[in-house]
Amino acid sequence: MTRPKWLYVLLLLLAVNLYAQAPEWQKSKADDPLHKREFDRFVLEGSYLAPPAVQVSNPELEVLCSKKKLHKAYVNFGGAIRPEPGMKSFKGNRQAKIDVRADEHRFSQYLEISEDHTTVSADDIEFTELLTGTRLGSTSSAR
């Protein structure tokens, strides 16, 4: 007894769909007992097209929100980040140069690096610029 070809095609499409699903946001709660705040924490795990030589984990984007507003965003690269020589934030923390490109919009941004050199952090304005590929308040669409 032969099975219809459409059954094999259906099973193949189902298998491909299971393995090729887009990443989904994971939501959880995060507490800051020092400042007595609670955050909604959203994490989107990614993957490298070409992983770095030394990779500890997959890259992920973490967003913390409080009272329906963005508090802070983090990009964990899953490996060591090289700081930009001589670049420090107002707080004195080392920074990494991040090249942003979305369509025809291109610019560089300097973001603070965590103490373990695996994560950069962005405030609400920096995060919006990263997501949109557009500098807020600029008159030029590309830099």
User: What residues make up the domain containing 82?
Assistant: 23-49+56-132
The tens digit of pLDDT for each residue in 47-75 reads: 776 766 777 788 898 999 998 888 889 98
In a domain, 139, yes or no: no
**Number of domains into which the chain is organized:** 1
| DSSP designation for 128 | H
In a domain, 13, yes or no: no
Note the pTM of the prediction, 2 decimals. Answer: 0.69
Distance of CA 57 to the CA centre of its chain: 13
In a domain, 4, yes or no: no
Per-residue pLDDT for 3 more than 70? Answer: no
In a domain, 97, yes or no: yes
In a domain, 72, yes or no: yes
In a domain, 106, yes or no: yes
pLDDT band for position 42 (cuts 50, 70, 90)? very high
Residue from 106, 112, 95, 111 nearest 133 by CA: 106
In a domain, 110, yes or no: yes
Predicted pLDDT at 59 = 86
